């Protein structure tokens, strides 16, 4: 079931009504059943994957909780993680790697022909985090199988996250799943703003992007350039819109999920982009369960550089295997972002040793940092979106070769209504983001007079209905 579907519009009020009518002690069972209906809607076989991962993590969690010997617990954790990460790797890479082998070798291996269902990566990572936390004694193993099942299957987050940690989620669930009336308005605002970003902005940018990348060798360079810019905002609004709806929907039931995006295209460095603003919960997962266990920044400069690159290459592998085709482009995307981090660390080290006074006003230097960071990320998105490394390089080469002629080309280019609508929506989004950066938009709206607030609500709702693209498109990150 998709958030941007009629089925969900009917499903959510029904689940909210049932939750309000039930005693506190029964609500989590009702919500577990609702979550299973949501995830299995139209594809009941998905529940076998979710059930398998849930039972695996639950059983190993109990074993880890009972384990006394450090060696035994380490062996249990290793076995559990091999099962989880191994299954994810098999679904993503087995058939791809087989196809890359020489024909005489590939013929020795059968075709698996199975793709993991939507959300498999996200709840597999959540299960792995739970087991590691139990192993570290940071969390008691959950004995109630149904409550653990609710954590794994919770319908707002099961498809594309955020990747919620088990302890805060389970603590909230045990407290009765009571929504805070003071947060209800903010929760609904977040749901509708997320829906606006998904169906109005992302899904209206998508056709321009798809059309250009479908004929990358033959599309006009300006069309490719527009598609590259549009894709940066498409993927942001698609993913963050779903995340906003997930967080807002959870608040309606008294569950607070972690923030996953914080105005990423206002970042002043690539490090800030990845660590503080984009897909925050995945970044925290890699930090806590990969970067720090590898030694983090505690093992010397060379090891720090290596650990950072390992994290970004693993992130590239996590995205690879599905999404925009099977290929090596996601690995290049990860490598490129790792190199950005290396360059930033080198420049910061040099600047600390040779301090140079700034020749520009603070606001101008900040704006230039945002501009540079955005365009570095923009180049990496080309490898994310392209079907292959060769196609990504071709797109960048054709755009670079056409840059000297762009001023004259732009004057005579036959821009369409789709181009104008897309540019207007991006300008609107960035205007809202810049206002929100200075002062939370919810606080600004709360200070308005009631007629103005309701006028805004009706405008957003009208845009969703009239301009929204309602083809039932899946979220981009459901593919990963």
- Active site residue: 319, 375, 412, 419, which one? 319
Name residue, tokens 């290396």. Answer: 342
**Which H or E run includes 456?**
helix 450-466
Helix 24-40 vs helix 6-21: angle between axes, to the nearest 10 degrees?
Answer: 160
279 is catalytic: no
Phi, psi of 268 (to 5 degrees): -100, 0
**Peptide linkage before 216 cis (omega within 30 of 0):** no
CA 376 to chain centre: 19
C-alpha count within 13 angstroms, C-beta hemisphere, residue 110: 3
CB atoms within 10 A of CB 130: 27
Q: What DSSP string describes 97-154?
A: HHHHS-HHHHTTS------PPTTHHHHHHHHHHHHHHHHTTSSPPP--HHHHHHHHH-
Q: Report the C-alpha gap between 423 and 359 in whole angstroms.
A: 33
Name residue, tokens 């940071």. Answer: 138
Report whether 84 contacts 124 (CB < 8 A).
yes
Instruction: State whether residue 380 is helix, strand or coil.
Output: helix
Q: What is the CA radius of gyration of the chain?
A: 24
Q: Which residues are catalytic?
A: 319
């Amino acid at each position: 079931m998709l958030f941007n579907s009629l089925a969900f519009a009917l499903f959510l009020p029904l689940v909210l009504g049932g939750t309000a009518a039930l005693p506190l002690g029964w609500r989590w069972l009702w919500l577990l059943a609702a979550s299973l209906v949501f995830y299995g809607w139209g594809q009941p076989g998905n529940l076998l994957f979710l059930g398998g991962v849930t039972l695996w993590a639950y059983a190993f969690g109990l074993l880890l909780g009972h384990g006394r010997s450090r060696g035994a617990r380490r062996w249990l954790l290793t076995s559990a993680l091999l099962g989880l990460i191994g299954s994810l790797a098999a679904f993503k890479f087995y058939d791809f790697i087989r196809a890359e082998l020489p024909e005489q070798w590939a013929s020795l291996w059968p075709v698996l022909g199975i793709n993991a269902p939507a959300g498999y990566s996200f709840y597999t990572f959540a299960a792995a985090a739970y087991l590691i936390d139990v192993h570290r004694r940071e969390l008691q193993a959950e004995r109630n199988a149904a409550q653990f099942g609710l954590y794994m299957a919770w319908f707002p987050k099961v498809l594309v996250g955020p990747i919620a940690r088990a302890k805060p989620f389970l603590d909230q669930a045990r407290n009765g799943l009571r929504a805070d009336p003071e947060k209800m308005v903010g929760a609904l605002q977040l749901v509708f703003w997320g829906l606006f970003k998904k169906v109005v902005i992302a899904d209206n940018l998508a056709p321009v992007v798809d059309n250009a990348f479908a004929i990358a060798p033959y599309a006009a360079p300006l069309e490719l350039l527009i598609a590259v810019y549009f894709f940066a905002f498409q993927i942001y609004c698609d993913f963050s819109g779903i995340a906003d709806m997930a967080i807002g929907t959870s608040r309606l039931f008294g569950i607070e999920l972690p923030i996953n995006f914080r105005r990423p295209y206002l970042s002043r460095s690539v490090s800030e982009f990845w660590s503080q603003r984009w897909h925050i919960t995945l970044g925290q997962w890699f930090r806590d369960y990969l970067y720090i266990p590898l030694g983090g920044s505690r093992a010397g400069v060379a090891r720090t550089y290596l650990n950072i690159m390992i994290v970004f290459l693993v992130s590239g592998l996590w995205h690879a295997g599905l999404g925009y085709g099977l290929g090596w482009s996601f690995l290049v995307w990860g490598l490129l972002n790792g190199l950005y981090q290396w360059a930033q660390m080198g420049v910061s080290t040099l600047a600390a040793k040779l301090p140079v006074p700034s020749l520009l006003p603070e606001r101008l230097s900040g704006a230039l940092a945002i501009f540079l960071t955005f365009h570095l990320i923009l180049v990496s998105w080309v490898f994310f979106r392209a079907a292959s490394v060769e196609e990504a390089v071709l797109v960048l080469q054709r755009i670079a070769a056409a840059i000297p002629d762009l001023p004259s080309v732009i004057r005579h280019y036959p821009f369409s209504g789709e181009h104008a609508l897309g540019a207007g929506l991006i300008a609107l989004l960035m205007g809202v983001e810049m206002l929100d950066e200075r002062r939370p938009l919810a606080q600004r709206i709360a200070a308005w007079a009631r007629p103005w607030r309701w006028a805004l609500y009706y405008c957003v709702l009208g845009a969703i209905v009239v301009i929204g693209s309602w083809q039932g498109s899946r979220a981009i990150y459901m593919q990963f």
